[in-house]
Chain A
Amino acid sequence: MTPTDDSHILVEEVSRRYGRGRDTFTAVRGVSFAVAPGQLFALLGTNGAGKTSTVELLEGLAAPHRGRIRLFGDLDPVADRARIRPRTGAMLQEGGFISHLTVRETVLMWAELTSRSRPVDEALDLTGLTHRADVLVQNLSGGEKRRLDLTMATLSQPEILFLDEPTTGMDAEGRHATWKLIRQLREQGTTVLLTTHYLEEAETLADRLAIMHRGRIAVSGTVSQIVAGHPSTLSFGLAADGGATPGELPVSGRVEQHQGRVTIVTERLQEDAARLLAWATERGVTLDRFTARPASLEEAFISIAHSHRDPDEEETT
């Protein structure tokens, strides 16, 4: 998508620096992307990639060193804070709670500080915290604290929701419940910007995503677009006494054999799979536990993490 003024979130060539002089560290370096209303955009990356630094700029917690950010078309996150805040919700990467308050007191406090807040009991129910309402925040597990954070972020039914690693520390049940809630909000028209290092999360939820690496966006697009440039794999077992050898397989991809299992890394998955199956049928060869798998986000992610070395990295870190 081309960045336009119709975007709910528009980020243009944004950089963020920490420190001064010799201690300067550039965490975000010329990042650009746009998110349309009602879209879910995921920022993926390893630890230290610059995801949180970017989200904090969008949340208006800091001003960019360089570049321009606009929310809702024409609002600046720092200068127009008072106009933006009633329309946004934010989940920080961690903490932000008073440990001696109970869950209910914490949500009640946030509700009183928020215009158009949904009722506290409804909010607690939505994130599955009703049974923990009277527990002190300091006694919550890591996953429960994330749920509390999500409760507060979604109290006002925001138009833009910033979620910084929303499911870190959650068990599988909590993670799926959170995904369900995020999907519900999106269906109601909320624009969501989510950071995560769980690839499955991005793959499951995001309309579009960007993979950040060392402060830059290495690649962005839909999951299909991102994985398109990465090879797929065919995998099967080939019996040693079956009369067939890996060398005679009719495929275009690279053939590898390890402990009786053959893996074909190919950029033409459909053609190679069809040819291989036809060949096996014709020769009467059994392809044990045959699988054909398109490139996953994980492969794209790992490949990016290993391949993108920045020429000016030494200067900036």
Chain B
Amino acid sequence: MSGPALRQMRTLFRVEWKLFHRIRSNYVFVLFIPVLLLFGMRFVQEQMNLSANGLAAGPVMVATAVGILLIFSLYSSVTGLYVARREELVLKRLRTGEVSDPVILAGGASMYVAIAVVQIVVVAAVVSVMFSAAPRQLPAAVAGLLTGVALATVMAAATAALCRTVESVMVATLPAIFVLPMISGIYIPREVLPDSLGDVLRFAPLAGTVDLIRSGWTGELSVAAGLARGVLEGVWVALFGWIAVRRFRWEPRT
């Protein structure tokens, strides 16, 4: 990335950071989701008989927590951000200036990426302590985090392309919020499902990310298998990126 582009990214990050702090209720959002997540997972862990399926609770819970934060904290926030800035004509105005389109989108989202990454690191650390599970394959965990952040962000841009108004964000994000965690192994590990269904769902968006994160704590994936998960996520990023590039609107429909 060029010098001016980095400088512009920093400016857009700082503006969103300032705005985030200006609206106090955002603090609730930052703290509430992870805390609720940790309480919820303690409860779920007690209900699910994971060990019967050869699964250790700690790594499963870390992968689940990361998946939920990627969707609820990053994806839904960035979708809302893009639509809100578009409705205010901020995106259109930015396009009259020197900032390129990718930097406009990445710059605004970068603040929410930073918050989500901090949330993920803190929650993963707390869950590791709660379940006495230490990371064993850190590169896999990092690859999972990177692919997850990239996919959640381009999915947000693609979803924003389909939203007409800020009000429609709620409806447009529903499939990702309700369906994606069900099919990508976030709520239910694939091992718990029938084999044939599990094999198909292995290709769902974020499924590769979930596998990589879990492997970060179990070390279960070989390098080749890890790379395959990375490539799979890359394909999803490219697909949603293609939709975003083709369909993204920089100003409200008239």
Interface, chain A (partner B; CB < 8 A): 18, 59, 61, 81-82, 85-86, 88, 90, 92, 94-101, 105, 109-110, 112-115, 152, 162
- Known A98-B90, A112-B11, A113-B11; contact A105-B95, beta-carbon cutoff 8 A: no
Q: Once the chains bind, are A92 and B97 in contact (CB under 8 Å)?
A: no
21 of the cross-chain contacts (CB-CB < 8 Å) are A18-B254, A59-B96, A61-B250, A82-B98, A85-B97, A85-B98, A94-B89, A96-B92, A96-B96, A97-B88, A97-B93, A100-B22, A101-B15, A101-B19, A105-B18, A112-B7, A112-B8, A113-B8, A113-B12, A113-B97, A152-B93
Partner of B89, one of A90, A92, A162: A92
Q: Once the chains bind, are A115 and B4 in contact (CB under 8 Å)?
A: yes
- Assess whether B168 is interfacial by the CB under 8 Å rule: no
- Known A97-B90, A98-B90, A100-B19; contact A61-B11, beta-carbon cutoff 8 A: no
Complex Cα–Cα for A94 and B250 (A)? 15
Q: Once the chains bind, are A61 and B18 in contact (CB under 8 Å)?
A: no
Q: Once the chains bind, are B19 and A95 in contact (CB under 8 Å)?
A: no
Complex Cα–Cα for A59 and B85 (A)? 20
Shortest CB–CB separation between residue B222 and chain A, in angstroms?
44
Instruction: Tell me the dominant secondary structure on chain B's binding face.
Output: helix
Closest to B107 in A: A113
Complex Cα–Cα for A113 and B94 (A)? 9
- Assess whether B100 is interfacial by the CB under 8 Å rule: yes
Complex Cα–Cα for A98 and B11 (A)? 14
Q: Once the chains bind, are B18 and A99 in contact (CB under 8 Å)?
A: no
Q: Once the chains bind, are B19 and A61 in contact (CB under 8 Å)?
A: no
- Assess whether B99 is interfacial by the CB under 8 Å rule: yes
Closest to A92 in B: B93
Number of interface residues of B (CB under 8 A): 26
Complex Cα–Cα for A205 and B254 (A)? 31
Q: Once the chains bind, are A92 and B92 in contact (CB under 8 Å)?
A: yes
Complex Cα–Cα for A221 and B45 (A)? 78
- Assess whether B28 is interfacial by the CB under 8 Å rule: no
Q: Please give, as numbers and ranges, the residues of chain B lying within 8 Å of A109 by CB-CB distance.
A: 11, 15
Complex Cα–Cα for A31 and B90 (A)? 28
Complex Cα–Cα for A109 and B18 (A)? 11
Could you give, for residues 48-89 of chain B, a 1 whenever the CB lies within 8 Å of some chain A CB and a 0 otherwise?
000000000000000000000000000000000000010011
Q: Please give, as numbers and ranges, the residues of chain A lying within 8 Å of B19 by CB-CB distance.
A: 98, 100-101
Q: Once the chains bind, are B89 and A96 in contact (CB under 8 Å)?
A: yes
Complex Cα–Cα for A12 and B62 (A)? 60
- Assess whether B23 is interfacial by the CB under 8 Å rule: yes
Complex Cα–Cα for A61 and B95 (A)? 7
Complex Cα–Cα for A152 and B95 (A)? 13
Partner of B99, one of A92, A94, A100, A113: A113
Q: Once the chains bind, are A61 and B99 in contact (CB under 8 Å)?
A: no
Shortest CB–CB separation between residue A268 and chain B, in angstroms?
47
